[in-house]
A and B are shown apart, each in its own frame.
Chain A
Amino acid sequence: EADIYQTPRYLVIGTGKKITLECSQTMGHDKMYWYQQDPGMELHLIHYSYGVNSTEKGDLSSESTVSRIRTEHFPLTLESARPSHTSQYLCASSPGDEAFFGQGTRLTVV
């Protein structure tokens, strides 16, 4: 199992602010993922990475960006938060096929 950490756990922020959601893993996994999930709804893949300096967009149109400068770190940035960004953001890492999730960040944009 992976040790994967997301911060903050909860965030309430005003419209128009720039925010970065942090995700770190200590297992040296090459693959990492960001998902967005509204309560009771499905997980939508928004970004993923095969390794350092590799990032790909997922299936959900998103105004977020990611970077992968170090293996263990995969932050997600929203340049200008909007109420429509209110959701749960889940980060996962994978040593190969199976993925392990962090605790998530619940974001509320007011």
Chain B
Amino acid sequence: QKEVEQNSGPLSVPEGAIASLNCTYSDRGSQSFFWYRQYSGKSPELIMFIYSNGDKEDGRFTAQLNKASQYVSLLIRDSQPSDSATYLCAVKSPGDKLIFGTGTRLQVFP
């Protein structure tokens, strides 16, 4: 079992819709969770982090964490074509390793 799992996609949504990206992790001791955006040919860029159960909102982005289910999600409201990218879920293990999922490719079409 991979430590961090994501559906590779592509996830296709129309402009203006809500995009929902999901991630599960295997280590129950993990405490810190991150979402990165990576455009093709570029480095990952941090967009959200969450430490506590529940929701955390930042502009059009909402991160959701459920530690009991070992589940993290990212919602993107009012999706724009410029949001088209690969979204990487990352988890900080108790040993301080930062482990990434395979990423979900999001396509927002006009």
Contact = CB atoms under 8 A, between A and B. Distances in A.
A94 B103 CA distance: 21
Contact of B44 (A50, A90, A94, A97): A90
Contact of B92 (A59, A97, A102, A103): A97
Given A97-B34, A103-B43, 8 more contacts: A31-B96, A42-B101, A43-B100, A45-B99, A90-B43, A97-B92, A99-B98, A100-B46
Interface of B: 32, 34, 43-46, 49, 51, 88, 90, 92, 96-103
Contacts of B101: 42
Given A42-B103, A43-B88, A94 B98 contact: yes
A2 B55 CA distance: 26
B49 A48 contact: no
State the 9 A-B residue pairs at the shortest beta-carbon distance, nearest first.
Answer: A101-B43, A42-B102, A43-B100, A97-B32, A98-B49, A101-B44, A104-B43, A98-B46, A99-B98
A100 B90 CA distance: 12
Contacts of B34: 97-99
5 contacts: A43-B100, A45-B98, A45-B100, A98-B46, A104-B43
Interface residues of A, number: 23
Chain A interface, DSSP helix/strand/loop, else mixed? strand
A12 interface: no
Nearest to A94: B98
A18 to B, nearest CB: 25
A98 B44 CA distance: 12
